[in-house]
């Protein structure tokens, strides 16, 4: 009878025939969150719904005349979530949640210093794929929905959120809190109010500070201080000066402590500057890359590129109609629109011609390790966008280390 046994996979929860949905489309999120926490107390938070999903799934498989029992399905699915490049640390020392998780920059950094992620949320489908490939977990969806917020466990130490910055970014249309994307901060506020984590760890574009003559930033810090009673620290840090990453990327970081739970909060300091020892050549892939990354000689902009791009030791930026050299010999700020229409795409000159950075190189300029998986079924445009939207993981890790000194 053994040959009749059927292999199961989390992917099958997307099967059109499997119609018994728990909370559309959160079945995969519930089951992977349960499996990720099956060895600790957090699992009880997801258990009832996860077992419902599993029972429904086994029933559906049996209706398809496939021999499978719940325990067996659970074991197979467990192997699938644990056998990933970046599993949860076995001996974790603190718990955190990852909101607006993107591709997991915060998670990577906090896992590196002994943190366990107990909840994650991200609405972008392509980002969810990348997250799942690397961490074995599928994020919950739209955090503005109460049903999604209700899955957040009660007990965690740090809330991480690189909340969407389009509303505040120079690249966006600068409407700030008038833009509904800007109001996603208010969802963070509600979660902080309900769960009272020890620490709130936020990241955003530098422009948030000056947006609307500083009013937007004032609203955020006032809510954290006056309404929620947290002690707030903020600083603009650059990946180039604070993370030994050769990318000129300035971001605002806001760290807020609950003084009742963290009485020595005033000992917190942002990390000091460190010397930039890495060059772009530590990041760029050696040798010839695929032809699709190179500009052909008959391209209408090729003469302009060839004339301007004379050095192999810096990264240039294509700005719609002209090329800008980065004088500091680092990579200019990676943006979410790098892959769209060629605007803002970082360019380099190598021994084989003039080319765009590859998606892998963009991930490396954000501090992601070489074994971080970029899903092969995602278009390059999506991968460029994911890299541009991400945090620099090594900088997040340095800040998180300072937070842990206080905790």
Residues belonging to the active site: 165
Closest C-alpha among 78, 80, 163 to residue 123: 163
Q: How far apart are CA 74 and CA 139, in angstroms?
A: 19
Q: How far apart are CA 120 and CA 90, in angstroms?
A: 18
351's tokens? 């021994």
* Interior/surface letters 258-282, b for 16+ CB within 10 angstroms, e for the rest: beeebeebeebebbeeeebeeebee
- Look up tokens 């963009």; give the residue: 362
Quickly count: other Cβ atoms within 10 Å of residue 227's Cβ.
11
Coil vs helix vs strand at 131: helix
Report H helices in 206-310: 215-222, 239-242, 302-308
Coil vs helix vs strand at 204: strand
Instruction: Measure the CA dihedral 164/170/176/179, to 10°.
Output: -70
Ramachandran quadrant class, 198 (left: phi over 0; alpha: psi -120 to 50; beta: rest) = alpha
Q: How far apart are CA 214 and CA 202, in angstroms?
A: 17
- Look up tokens 């001996």; give the residue: 91
163's tokens? 């909340």
Ramachandran quadrant class, 290 (left: phi over 0; alpha: psi -120 to 50; beta: rest) = beta
């Amino acid at each position: 009878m053994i040959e009749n046994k059927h292999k199961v996979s989390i992917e099958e929860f997307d099967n059109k025939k499997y119609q018994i949905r728990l909370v559309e489309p959160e079945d995969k999120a519930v089951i992977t969150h349960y499996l990720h926490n099956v060895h600790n107390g957090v699992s009880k938070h997801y258990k009832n719904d996860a077992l419902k999903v599993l029972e429904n799934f086994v029933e559906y498989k049996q209706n398809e005349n496939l021999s499978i029992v719940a325990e067996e399905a659970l074991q197979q699915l467990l192997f699938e979530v644990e056998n990933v490049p970046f599993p949860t640390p076995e001996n974790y020392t603190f718990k955190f949640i990852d909101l607006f998780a993107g591709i997991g920059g915060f998670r990577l950094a906090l896992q590196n210093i002994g943190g366990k992620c107990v909840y994650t949320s991200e609405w972008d489908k392509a980002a969810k794929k990348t997250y799942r490939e690397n961490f074995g977990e599928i994020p919950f969806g739209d955090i503005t929905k109460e049903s999604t917020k209700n899955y957040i466990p009660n007990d965690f130490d740090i809330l991480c959120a690189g909340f969407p910055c389009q509303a505040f970014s120079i690249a966006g249309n600068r409407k700030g809190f008038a833009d509904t994307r800007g109001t996603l901060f208010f969802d963070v506020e509600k979660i902080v109010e309900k769960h009272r984590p020890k620490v709130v760890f936020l990241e955003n574009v530098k422009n948030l500070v000056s947006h609307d003559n500083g009013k937007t930033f004032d609203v955020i810090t006032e809510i954290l201080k006056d309404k929620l009673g947290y002690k707030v620290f903020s600083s603009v840090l650059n990946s180039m000066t604070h993370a030994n990453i050769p990318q000129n990327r300035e971001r605002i970081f806001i760290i807020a402590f609950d003084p009742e739970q963290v009485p020595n909060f005033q000992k917190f300091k942002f990390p000091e500057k460190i010397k930039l020892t890495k060059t772009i050549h530590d990041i760029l892939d050696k040798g010839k890359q695929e032809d699709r990354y190179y500009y052909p000689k008959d391209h209408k902009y090729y003469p302009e590129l060839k004339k301007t791009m004379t050095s192999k030791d810096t990264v240039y930026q294509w700005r719609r109609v002209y090329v800008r050299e980065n004088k500091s010999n680092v990579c200019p700020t990676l943006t979410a629109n790098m892959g769209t229409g060629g605007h803002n795409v970082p360019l380099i000159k190598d021994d084989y011609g003039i080319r765009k950075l590859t998606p892998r190189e963009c991930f490396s300029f954000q501090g992601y390790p070489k074994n971080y998986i970029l899903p092969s079924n995602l278009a390059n445009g999506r991968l460029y966008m994911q890299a541009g939207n991400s945090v620099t993981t090594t900088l997040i890790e340095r800040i998180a280390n300072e937070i842990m000194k206080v905790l």
